[in-house]
A = this chain, B = another copy of it.
Amino acid sequence: MSILVVGSVAYDSVETPSGKATDVLGGSALYFSAAARYFAPVNVVGVVGKDFEFSKIEFLKQDNVDLEGVVMDEGETFRWGGKYHSNLDDRDTLYTYLNVFESFKPVIPKNYRSSEFVFLANIDPELQLDVLESIQAPKLVVLDTMNFWISGKRKQLDAVLKKVDMAILNEEEIYQLTGNSNLFDAATILRKMGPRILVIKRGKYGSVLASENGYFFGPAYPVTKVVDPTGAGDSFAGGLLGYLAGCSDLNETDLRKAVIYGTVVASFNVEDFSFNRLKQINRDRIETRLEELRRMTAF
């Protein structure tokens, strides 16, 4: 079954201890699709400027990703520049030029409206609400957000939270959203705010799945050399939701495997800049790392 993702398409300039990449392809919608396409067809809604070279996303179009919903507006494509600290956990944003993304009003093409799986990437919660209005009968709606919206558009964010089935957040985000810094208390509070399923991203410490079935702890894959963490969260969500879109049921076993698939795809993504690594892998290589993680957690 196909997945709809609504998010950003960007040109990123990134500096990490491993090197530099200037004006390379990025954005939540693309990182998500590049990851999810290994498992299910993806429909993308986003906006680009007149400067955008569609040839650069041809590799997605060739492989399970429908880009009909990516519209071109007057102006330039969204640009982000960032520099990671030596620990790779922290980064400084050098610039954010929203450009065409500033007035982005997602329009969901007719043939996307029957999508059963929806990923609301990190965009204005008002737009996230608009998107949900257009979807007929989603089976699973998943939300991402960030500190900017948590502090700036809390009321709208609360309204979206009520309408989603799952939220994928990092630790700081759930602490900020709940005002509670005990992970398990915060998870309980957040699940009462709407999403019955919560996935907490802890970076190199892995992730936690919290649902009515209790907790599941997934490790991070031991990446020998992290080159560029950009897109880790979105490729994690892509692998996770991609796998779920292929499940007939959405039971606890499916959810846990989905978290691990997300982990694995994200682990590849961070091994190079932009989409360099996600262009090279295949489902077999994903399965290999999944089995490695299974062996590394069994006792």
Q: Decide yes or no whether A106 CB sits under 8 A from chain B.
A: no
B86, B184, B224, B294: the one contacting A222 at CB < 8 Å is B184
Say how far A12's CB is from chain B's closest CB, in angstroms: 24
Say how far A68's CB is from chain B's closest CB, in angstroms: 35
- Among A161-199, those with CB < 8 Å from B are 181-185
Chain B residues near A297 (CB-CB < 8 A) = 216-217, 297, 299
Copies in the complex: 2
Interface string of A213-245 (1 = CB under 8 A from B): 011111100101100000000000000000000
Interface size on A, residues (CB 8 A): 31
Q: Decide yes or no whether A205 CB sits under 8 A from chain B.
A: yes
Residue pair A224, B184 in contact (C-beta under 8 Å): yes
Chain B residues near A218 (CB-CB < 8 A) = 299
Q: Decide yes or no whether A296 CB sits under 8 A from chain B.
A: yes
Say how far A270's CB is from chain B's closest CB, in angstroms: 13
Q: Decide yes or no whether A282 CB sits under 8 A from chain B.
A: no
- Among A235-270, those with CB < 8 Å from B are 253, 256-257, 259-260
Chain B residues near A295 (CB-CB < 8 A) = 214
Chain B residues near A113 (CB-CB < 8 A) = none
Residue pair B296, A181 in contact (C-beta under 8 Å): no
Q: Decide yes or no whether A202 CB sits under 8 A from chain B.
A: yes
What are 15 residue pairs bridging A and B, where the CB atoms are less than 8 Å apart in the complex?
A87-B181, A182-B225, A183-B204, A185-B224, A205-B205, A206-B217, A214-B296, A215-B296, A217-B297, A218-B299, A253-B299, A256-B299, A260-B299, A294-B299, A297-B297
A215-B222, A217-B296 are known; give 8 further A-B pairs, CB within 8 A: A184-B222, A202-B205, A216-B296, A217-B219, A218-B299, A219-B219, A260-B299, A297-B299
